[in-house]
Chains A and B, each alone.
Chain A
Amino acid sequence: MSGNTSMTQRIEDKLASGIALDHLEVINESGGHNVPADSQTHFKVVLVSDEFVDKRLLARHRQVNELLAAELAQGVHALAIHTYTPHEWRERFGAAPLSPPCQGVREKNPED
């Protein structure tokens, strides 16, 4: 982690600098998982952008994963990604799906 910047802030900055966003949510979901308190390991990101128009989900997710490659390599263990065009976002009434509950055992080396 770099200095006092939280991982949430880092993720927000990276995504905002790489994609022209209408809407962005970065949620630290680590609390629901079998990791120490105050962990910054499990995140959910919700992005709404015109850039996603005519782009398949796989390509959208690759774009997000690539922007966050350093964070995924440095402690972010799980990343739920929800990407929408402005039209898709309006059709969902501005709500992204919930992440599934953790079923994991605590792993010795969760940084994959």
Chain B
Amino acid sequence: MSEEIVATIKGQIESNPILLYMKGSPQAPQCGFSAQTVQCLIACGQRFAYVDILSHPEIRATLPTYANWPTFPQLYVDGELIGGCDIVTEMFEAGELEPLIKEAADAVEEG
């Protein structure tokens, strides 16, 4: 793992309370799993940051090892990995995602 890329990833995760690493963009997802994850996040009604890993092959190559998570998308909230599409969807359907996202977004506004 390149230290420079790890530093970039750490910086992204630390400075964005709601961050999605995905294939494509929220407007044009390039993968069904990324698209479904974006839909869950949009339904939570808060702004979120994203990184398109198709445009950043160096991040795509490094993040799975750094995060110990082999696939994309990956959702981070307050610096912690929440999971991929299946976990995000399950939490959304259980009503657990929206309060988590809202709390992270509110903390930013107050901050």
Contacts and interface: CB of A to CB of B under 8 A. Distances in A.
Interface stretch (B10-18, B43-51, B80-88, B98-106): B80-88
Main secondary structure of the interface of A (DSSP, over half): mixed
Interface of B: 23-24, 29-36, 54, 60-61, 64, 68-72, 81-87, 89-91
A100 B70 contact: no
Given A57-B90, A104-B32, 13 more contacts: A57-B86, A58-B87, A61-B83, A61-B86, A65-B69, A97-B89, A99-B32, A100-B32, A100-B35, A100-B36, A103-B24, A103-B29, A103-B34
Contacts of B32: 99-104
Contacts of B68: 62
Contacts, number: 63
Nearest to A83: B86
Given A65-B69, A72-B71, A82 B29 contact: no
A62 B70 CA distance: 9
A69 interface: yes
A99 B32 CA distance: 8
A58 B71 contact: no
A61 B87 contact: yes
B71 A104 contact: no
A110 B65 CA distance: 17
A15 B93 CA distance: 26
Contacts of A16: none
A69 B86 contact: no
